[in-house]
Chains A and B, each alone.
Chain A
Amino acid sequence: MKVTIKQWNAVAQWQWDTGKQDDATDGEEDVCGICRNPFEGCCPTCKVPGDDCPLIWGECTHVFHMHCLLKWISTAASKSQCPMDRRQWVTAERKVAPSGR
């Protein structure tokens, strides 16, 4: 038997690459540490998820909605620290094409 695919309209969900390799578990999903909304959702000020409300990755491996983090950083109380571990916030350089995957 030979099977030829003529056309395929599939459905997929997009997901942020947060560095965790746990595709398989769809149990507790990752949420932004600031707004507690899922990464694939959007920050409280945004209406549209995805590229319009991107994530920001820190050197400390913590990930937030970019808008959430920038708002935090802009407050004086933040002292430019990561809200999770109180280390100086340094935005990580994203590898454009993750070689490990």
Chain B
Amino acid sequence: MASAALRNQVATKWQDAFNRLNRGQPGISGLMGFSEAWSVASEFLYPKDLGDPPKDFNVQHVKAAFDVLIQCRTLPMLLENFVETMRQRQYLITRDVEAFMAEYENSNDPGIIAKLTLRLCEWYAAWAPLVELGQTISAAYVAHFQTHVFSVLPPTFAGGFKALISATLAAFTDPESVPDAALVQDPNLWQCFETLGLTERYEALISSVCYEHIENHVTGMCAGKWDEQMLSKLREWMADKVVPWMLLPYARGAKTAEEARAMLQGVGSRFDFHVCKTLCDLRTKELFDIIIDYPESAAALQDLKECLQRVDQRSQLVQSLRKANKRRLLHPGADTKDILTQYVSIIRCLRIVDPPGVLLYKVAEPIRRYLRERPDTIRCIVASLVGDGESGDSLVDDNEPIQPLQGPQVDDYMDPNWDPEPIDAGPDFRANKPSDVISTLVSIYDSKDLFVKELQVLLAQRLLAVADGNYDNERRNIEILKIRFGEGPLQVCEVMLKDMTDSRRIDQHVQQQNPSILHPTIISRHFWPSLQSSKLTMPGQFKKIQDIYAKEYTAFKPDKRLRWLPHLGTVQLKLELQDRTLNTWTLDELMSRVGLTERTASLKALFAWVDRGVLHEESSENFRLLEQAEASTVPRGAAHRPIIEDEPMASTVAQEQAAQMRVYWRFIEGMLTNLGQLPIERIQSMLKFAPGYDQTQEQLAAFLEAAQREGLVTFSQGCWKLHR
């Protein structure tokens, strides 16, 4: 039972609605008009199958109908109706999409995806209401159409779409590689993407396609190619090939070149960054080999330098190079000489990449630490300093100016060009800016005394080996080294050279007085590395020649005497052998005759004669002189020779070693003075530099313990140091 008021209200509402639809026209003609307009409009909007004949509408007519509906404020209802019919007709699109996707999944041809998008676009166009009908209808239509399309696209579509995009990109950069270039280059395609909202939806995917393309191109073009600068070429490639493509997704609707440039700016710099990053990654990965190839690979280093300015990958570079060094360089299989050569190349290369030297400092640290532990590092450095003839490529560039060694520099704050340390420099980074390679190598060790000592040993060996009296090479080297190390430390070497020339002068004088076949080198004891003394006495005619010469010498230099070092030097002998009765000597007899105390040395000497077919070993330690060559016995190998070091001489060996170790005590003392405290491994590895040192680490340990008992050294925390 409705109240009057309610009835009244309903009546008013109804009247309002009627008036709205009738638009104040007489009778119900307005209502009729509305009804007609509604059916025209819904007929117009009805989503048809693409196969159906095209609708033939009078645009004016349709517009008029929509105007009527707008006047009657029933547009929302119409839209709702339209959306509902679209939903009902969706199956048409779904059917198509499924058919295309099934085909794509069979063939994996991105062209199918292109066809699919074009087809979807046809649907879109077919169902689209007129643009003139206003924003509201179009927007609602687009939103619903896209929602629907996305809902029916299967997950494989994303993959297919990516393949399609990369095909379009490839069609720009390398047209031959794409089979149906015409299809993927269709300019309508991008219009379709845009219409369907695919560009927006798959934006990340599109840029990832581009990134991948750049990566492939950079890797393909630049890998292993170090002899020219690639970065500028890559940028050209970007400008010529990739940018025209980029116009499609990123600069649609640009009317002028100016506008397009503005639209591309952001994305362009992102891609440029990616080019640099990819190149930088590649070069970082290749860096170890680039360094090996230096200086042919200098261009690649320039590239790397430019890339590093754009991309902050310095720490990655350090880590990767350190890793490569550890794996490929710093292992027992590598020659010290090779390590040094590579280290020098690293120095040169990283100076190109990073002139302040921060990268170098970080990379070099493990190499230096490793080299310090290698026993023959100093020897190698010194050998290359004096330009050892063996290897052609010296560590030192001959063109480099020779300059004195440089210590760590103190910042000069008065320098107007002073720069602060780079931002990623570690706390212990020392700006050793223009220091040369030799200074860097020498600074591996804390003291340069070691180098001078080693140099002295090396020089001694070379001088004593020189047979023709030509020391110009050595003299020249010493002069060069004087510039580096200074006069003082090399004074010793100077004396050695002087001894050589003095010896020749003296020899000439002596030869005039009393010709002799003996040409001794007379050395100043304290200025040569300690040469082992020997108690060998020369037999018969040798002794006589020595005595005569010594007498002449004393006559020439009245205040001086000669002390022979019979175990050094060379002698050319002529042996005349004939048939004769043989006598055999035992080793012990021989030794007592020549006064040798070292059994191993005498054995070695005897075996040298055995090898020449002069002596024959009858039985163990019994030797026989072969007056007639015994062909069968001559080519005896060392196979069944007792291993000399294994001679059982237990009682005397220990004493002998102790005596030997006393010689090396001076070395140990010296190194502990120079380097503070050292672990036993270091002492052992350094002692190996000493001439003739052949003790094991256990023997050294026993000796150090003995020295500790005598209060000469102390042992704490794994290190030995001098007791003060």
Contacts and interface: CB of A to CB of B under 8 A. Distances in A.
B464 interface: yes
A47 B494 contact: yes
B564 A54 contact: no
Interface string B266-290: 0000000000000000000000000
Interface string B115-159: 000000000000000000000000000000000000000000000
Nearest to A57: B559
Nearest to A29: B525
A48 B497 CA distance: 11
B255 interface: no
Contacts of A12: 520-523, 550, 562-565
B574 A4 contact: yes
A40 B574 CA distance: 37
Interface string A87-101: 000000011111001
Nearest to B518: A8
A11 interface: yes
Contacts of A54: 559
Interface string A1-35: 11111111111111111000001001000000000
B568 A5 contact: no
A49 interface: yes
Contacts of B531: 11
Interface stretch (B211-219, B397-405, B539-547): B539-547
B541 to A, nearest CB: 7
B526 interface: yes
B571 A17 contact: no
B526 A40 contact: yes
Contacts of A8: 517-519, 542, 545, 569-572
Nearest to B627: A1
Contact of B566 (A10, A26, A101): A10
Given A3-B575, A6-B517, A41 B526 contact: yes
B567 to A, nearest CB: 9
B554 A101 contact: yes
B479 interface: no
Contact of A50 (B502, B533, B553, B554): B502
Interface in B683-704: none
A68 interface: no
A101 B525 CA distance: 22
Interface residues of A, number: 35
A69 interface: no
A15 B561 CA distance: 5
Contact of B561 (A11, A17, A95): A17
A1 B559 contact: no
B272 to A, nearest CB: 65
A58 interface: no
A99 to B, nearest CB: 12
Interface in B491-541: 491, 494-495, 498, 502, 517-527, 531, 533, 541
A1 B518 contact: no
Contact of B524 (A5, A11, A14): A14
B464 A13 contact: no
B6 interface: no
B483 interface: no
Contacts of B565: 10-13
Interface in B184-205: none
B423 interface: no
A101 B576 CA distance: 35
Contacts of A98: 554, 558
A48 B494 CA distance: 8
Interface string A46-89: 01111100110000000000000000000000000000000000
Contacts of B523: 11-14
B644 interface: no
Given A47-B494, A50-B502, A15 B560 contact: yes
Contacts of A14: 522-525, 553, 557, 560-563
Given A5-B517, A14-B560, 8 more contacts: A3-B575, A5-B573, A10-B518, A10-B568, A14-B524, A38-B526, A40-B526, A49-B495
Interface of A: 1-17, 23, 26, 38, 40-41, 47-51, 54-55, 94-98, 101
**10 A-B pairs with the lowest CB-CB distances in the bound complex, closest first:** A11-B568, A6-B572, A2-B576, A10-B569, A10-B520, A4-B574, A41-B526, A7-B572, A12-B562, A8-B571
